[in-house]
Every structure is written in C-alpha cells, then in structure tokens.
Structure 1
C-alpha cells in the first residue's frame, strides 16, 4: 500500500468515525429515533462537506506553510486566518442546507418563512466550532509535517553516523596493514643473511598475505573462515621464524565458520601474543585460537602460555586499534578483555553479536 492511498484511507476514515460519533450523540441527546435513516446519512454528508473543506485547508498549508510568527511569514498567517474564515462560512452554509433537507416538513416550512434569521442563528451557534475544526486540520497537518521532518533528520543523522563509523573503521584497518607488514619485513630482514631459505619462504607467505588483503577489499566484515585463513597464513610466517618453538592450536567448530567478524580482527591479537607473550620466551610456546557461540553471541579467544600481559601489550597499536574498531562497529554490544592466566600466559577474549552470512 503506497503512502498516498494510506493518507486517503486515514483521512476519510477519521471523518467517517467522527460522523458515527456525532450521529450517536444526536441520537442520545435529541432524536432517540431515525438513527440509520436520518442521523447517520446526515452526519456522513455533513462530515463530507467538512472533509472537503479540510482538503482546501491542506492545499493552502502546502502552498503557504506556516512557521514561527514574524514579519517574514506574516503574510502566510494572514492568508490562513482569512482563508479559514471564508472556508468556514461557505462550508457552514452547505451544512445549514443539509440540515434543512433532513429536517421534518414543519421545520422546513418554519425555516423557509424566515431563512436569513434562521441562518444567522445557525451561524452564530456553529461558526466558532467550524473555524476551530479547520484550524485543527491545519494543526494536525503541521504536526505531522514536523514529526516527519524530525524523523527524516534522525534517519539522516543515523546514516551519517554510520558512514562516519565505516570511514573511521576503514582508516583504522588501513593503519593495521602497514603495521603488520613492517613487523613481518623486520623478521625477514633478520633472517635474510643467516637463513636465506627461511627468508624466501617468509617472502612467499607474505605475498600470499598481501594478496588475501587485497582480495578482502574494503569490507568491514568477513566470515570467520576468511579471517582464520588470513590468520593461518600470518602464523605460517611466524612458524618459519620460531620453527619448533611455536605450536598453534585451533578450536574453531565448523558451525562458527560462517559467522561475520570484523575484517583483520584476529591477526593483530595473534601478533600481539607472539610479540609480547612468545618472542621473549626461551622455551617453546603455544598459541590457541578458540571460538564458540550461542544464539546471541560469538566468543573468540586468543590464548598463549607466554609472559603474560604488561603495559606495552595493552598500549600496542594492534590492541588499541582493535578496541576502537569494535566500539565503532558494535557500540556497547561487545566485550574486549585482556587478562593474565593464573598458571602464566594471557587470554584475549572478544565477544560480538552472533550473525552469519546470508544464504
């Protein structure tokens, strides 16, 4: 149903209900009879007249909209004041004729004997009501117009806020990419003179990583499957660097793979675990990536058995960037926690709304 049809149904529906109400009041106060054969048709026709008069008022409101009373729009107020008086007088004259038509014969003869005097009495009794009715229509129109403009402004503000959040998120995402690239190139530079074969493998993996970054484009969200593939490629670079000292464990059920997550979410968290939790260990280390969900939330954990979280871990570009992006994308519907584990090591937990790719 289009908006124009809804307007006509609503507009004439209100007048029809008003007709039934007025007919009921006339029946209760005066007639006690002729409800369906006189009172209902008379009030329907009477409100048809007022409804048509109201349409003229609405047309004037669109042509000469009212605003705050000042010298600039004083003309519009004068037009509406004059127009409402004229419309009320004309419509009231038609209503008076209608009342005569539906009156008993003896009443008609009395009216026709002195029509001017009768019309003056009718006019004096109902003109102010008719005038108020026209201004009620005008007020309802402007109230609906103000409400519509307010909702439009709210929608535009929400859309602008959403576009701003997307732009900020993309800027943060682009900030992360050169960060991990710089760190990876540093690792390659450290190996290129001592282990050229390992450095060559790392360059190949880095090329794969850059290709995957380009393939994801500027998407704000990707599937967990894509994010895991990206993170696994990054970890394959770190595995070459640390060799047997780094073990990766994954506990990501298949039913979580289609979940939507922020692009570039896990890699900076894993990189943070490697840099601050594993790199300084003389012994072997384990990084665990875990995921599970319920009907409302997706929970992701990055766990390491390294040195634990210190001030540098929390202040790093990756963690600060991730926290900001999560706030931009989900506002308060998320959690981002970094905690030290009792037995040593650290755990980073991200909780975001559970959503999957359509189809």
Structure 2
C-alpha cells in the first residue's frame, strides 16, 4: 500500500474519532456534565477506539476480505465487528479500572463489559460501513482507470497495426509503377524513384504521428499523384480545390493519400480512357470535410471490403469515435465520392 493511501487512512481515522470526541464533549457540556473526568474518559475511548479499529483493519487486509463479494463475507464481517466490540469493552474497562477513572457505578464488571460492548457496536458498524464503501469506490475508480489505460493501449496498437499496413501497401503499388517504367522509359523511372524517395521520407517522418496538418498531408498526396501520373500519363488528371483556411487543420496521417490511392486503384486504373481525381477541403459549419472524387462508379455497392477503406473507417473510429463520419457513394453517373467529416480542431 502506498504512502498516500496510508496517509489518507490515518487522516480519516484521526478525523473521525476526533469528531466522535467533540460530539461527546458537546453533549456533556449541553447537559452540564462536562468535567475533567469526562474529558479523560473520552480521550481514552478515542485512543482505544483507534487501536481496535486499526487492529480490525489489519485482519480485513490479512484475510483479503475486501477482495470477496459482500454476500460471501458479510458473516465474517459481522462476527469481526461483534468480537472487536468485546475487545474494545474489555480494554476500556481494564484501563478505566487501572487508572481509577471509572467513577461510581452500580454495575458489576461483566455487566459493564456487556454495556460498553453494546454501546460501541453502532460506532463500529458505522466505521466498517464507511471503510467498506470507501474501498468499493476506490476499487471501482482503479478499475475504470485500468480500463481506460487498456482501451488507450488497444487503440494505440490498432493504429500502429493499421499504419504498418498502409505504408507497405502503398510502397507495393508505387514499386509496381516504377517497374512498369524501367524498360520503357529509364529517365522517367529515375524521376519516379525520386518521387518515391520523397514519399518514403515523408512517411518515416510522420510514422509516430496520429495526425498532421493538412498542408503536410497534401504534400504527401501530391508526391503520390505525381508518381502515379508518370504511370498513367494523360489518362490521369488531378484537380484540387483547397480552402487555405483548412491547411493548418490536423488530419489523420496518410488517410487522404489512402483515399487517393483507392480512387486510382478502383477508378482510374479500371478505365481505358482514365479519368479525373478531384480533392477538396473546406469547412462546413463546425466540421472539416475532405472529399476525394474520381471518375468511375460503384456498381451499386460501396467498396467497403478493401483494406484502404476499412483502415479509413477504423482509424476515424479510433481517433474521433462517433464524432467522425465517412461515406462513399456515386454522386453522378460517372463519379464516385469519398467524404471524410471530422470536427474542427479549434472548436
């Protein structure tokens, strides 16, 4: 048990018993019975009470009673409370007798022990109830913190797993583009290798990041599309409509590149005449919307089984939960639109 926990326990012990002492002396004063003997007996009650409850706590910890369900331990707790009250009564009466502070009484020692034990039971029941409830709340708090830590760890591992797939997936496609140019046009192949080098450098720099400014993400996308344009030549046209006010907005790293790659793989590359890729970024109220359009169609269903789109959906869920939205749909007869909607970071 940490020093902080021990300190909290002792503050509660001392504070609780001092409250009991003040309450006792207040009632004695109210009924004109406050005298030095009353003060002595009250202080002795406090000292013995602290000792007995601390001993009870020792047995609770040693027996690991707090780790058991209440329906299995309530009988043990009840027996411990009754036994502790008898121990308290025997101790306090013995001390009173030794110090001659008992005062005049018509009760015998066994009767006094029984009476003191019964009087102490409500205090001890209150003590054990507070102690038990406090530990339940503390354990629940620890479990919640542990759950949050585990959830955070799982999300971090999921993001790392997704990223580890995104980069090799992209590299594989890029190398295919270069391979297609090696024999046909070595000069352009060298240019493609330079573009790929830029992409790999950007990818390594952002590897440990969850989000990057849109401006940096766009630089990655431009390098990627420049590389793909070497392969597709006139079959690939690129249009960008970027609101400059969105350039500093954080976006999930490599996500826009993934959508652009998906658009080429499932759209442009499937058409003999090629097509157009349009990338838009704009604010829509308190939302930042990123749109990638490509020439093509969905054939009546969304291509949500591919890794690129599944990774996009997973990452948005991990990073933003229900605050983010992703959809892919036909917007015209020959145009597919993939749209990401995330909260504006400044809000």
Instruction: Name the TM-score, length of structure 1 as normaliser.
Output: 0.73
Q: Deviation digits for residues 43-75 of structure 1, max 9, x if unmatched?
A: 898388347514541344235424259999x99
Q: In the alignment, is residue 57 of structure 1 matched against residue 53 of structure 2?
A: yes
Structure-2 separation of matches of 1:286 and 1:38: 91
Structure 1's 266 and 286: CA in aligned 2 closer, same or farther, altered over 3 A? closer
5 Å matches for 1:262-277? 262-277=252-267
Specify whether residues 71 and 351 from structure 1 end up closer, same or farther in structure 2 by C-alpha distance, changes over 3 A only.
closer
Superposed CA deviations along residues 67-86 of structure 1, whole A, max 9, x for unmatched, are 259999x9998776534421
- Structure 1 residue aligned with 2:87: 86
User: C-alpha displacement at 1:16, in angstroms?
Assistant: 5.1
Find the counterpart in structure 2 of residue 177 from structure 1.
167
Distance 1:292 1:52 in 2: 70
**SS of 1:315 mapped into structure 2:** coil
| 1:247/1:96 CA distance change after superposition, 3 Å | farther
SS at match of 2:183: coil
Note the C-alpha offset of 1:192: 2.7
TM-score, with normalisation over the residues of structure 2? 0.76
1:249 matched to 2:240: yes
Displacement, 1:185? 1.8
What SS does the aligned partner of 1:326 have? Answer: helix
Q: Does the 8 Å contact 1:273/1:287 carry over to 2?
A: no
Cα separation, 2, equivalents of 1:224 and 1:236 = 18
| Residue correspondence of structure 1 range 36-51 to structure 2 within 5 A | 38=34, 46=42, 49-50=45-46
Gaps (5+ residues) in structure 1? 102-107
Relative distance call for 1:118 and 1:355 in structure 2 (3 A) is farther
RMSD: 4.2
Matching residue within 280, 284, 307 for 2:296: 307
* 1:130 Cα deviation from its structure 2 partner: 0.4
- CA spacing shift, 1:63–1:354, aligned 2, 3 Å: farther
Q: Displacement, 1:247?
A: 2.0
Kindly indicate whether the alpha-carbon contact (under 8 Å) linking 2:255 and 2:312 is maintained by their aligned counterparts in 1: yes
The reply to whether residue 352 of structure 1 matches residue 337 of structure 2 is no
Would you say the 8 A contact 2:213–2:247 is kept in 1? no
Q: Distance in 2 between the 1:240 and 1:78 partners? A: 84
Distance in 1 between residues matched to 2:21 and 2:54, nearest whole Å? 20
Tell me if structure 2 keeps the 8 A contact 1:249–1:289.
yes
**How has the CA–CA distance of structure 1 residues 136 and 32 changed in structure 2, closer, same or farther, with 3 Å as cutoff?**
closer
Q: What is the Cα deviation at residue 314 of structure 1?
A: 2.7
SS state at 1:230 partner: helix
Higher mean displacement: 307-316 or 9-18: 9-18
SS at match of 2:156: helix
| Equivalence for 2:117 | 127
